[in-house]
């Protein structure tokens, strides 16, 4: 118990002596946690946007295939005349 008290007392003394360094360290920790949290949140959003974009591209490619027979039939009319 006495050893734990000495460690905590020494840590508190070091924090009080180096206030600027302690404040910058705490700011860096808070900034890092906020950044990781935002990246995780944006990562999920970007993933859904990308998947939606690829799905839309796939749907657009399928609709072009639906138009292909119409072009072929109009071409076949031109060749038959």
Token digits of residue 22: 């302690």
pLDDT digits (tens, 9 = 90+) for 14-35: 989 999 999 999 999 999 999 9
The answer for residues whose C-beta is within 8 angstroms of residue 22's C-beta and 6 or more apart is 15
For residue 28, what are the domain limits? 2-80
Cα atoms in the 13 Å half-sphere on the side-chain side of 73:
5
* CB distance 15 to 22 below 8 Å: yes
pLDDT digits (tens, 9 = 90+) for 39-79: 888 887 777 787 777 777 766 555 544 455 555 555 555 55
Rg, the chain, Cα only: 32
Domain count of the chain? 1
The angle formed by the CA atoms of residues 43, 48 and 50, to the nearest 5 degrees, is: 90
């Amino acid at each position: 118990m006495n050893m734990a008290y000495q460690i905590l007392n020494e840590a508190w003394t070091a924090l009080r002596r180096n206030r600027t360094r302690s404040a910058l360290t705490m700011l860096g920790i808070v900034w890092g946690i906020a950044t990781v949290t935002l990246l995780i949140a944006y990562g999920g959003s970007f993933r859904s946007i990308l998947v939606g974009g690829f799905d839309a591209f796939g749907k657009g490619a399928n609709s072009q295939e639906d138009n292909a027979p119409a072009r072929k039939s109009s071409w076949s009319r031109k060749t038959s005349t």
